[in-house]
Amino acid sequence: MSKIKCNVEECQYNTSDLCQASTIQVKEGMQDHMISTSDDTACKTFTPKTDLS
């Protein structure tokens, strides 16, 4: 299994800065230009944690 780093604390799949989702989907961001950096993309797999405590 790949080790995909994630620093989004609010995502239910993030455990100790590693994504625990069985698969991930990355989509284009909201920009109107050609994708050229990782900042131009977004994780569509994100699901908010139900308990943020």
Q: What is the total count of domains within the chain?
A: 1
What average pLDDT does the segment 5-33 reach?
A: 89
What average pLDDT does the segment 4-32 reach?
A: 90
Cα end-to-end span (Å), the chain = 28
User: Looking at residue 2, what is its pLDDT?
Assistant: 72
| Amino acid of residue 34 | M
Largest CA distance in the chain: 38
Scored b (16 or more CB within 10 A) or e, 16-33 reads eeebebeeeeeeeeeeee
pLDDT (tens digit per residue) in 21-50: 999 999 887 666 788 887 788 899 999 998
User: Looking at residue 53, what is its pLDDT?
Assistant: 55
Verdict on whether the full-model pTM lies above 0.75: no
16 lies in which domain range?
1-31+38-53
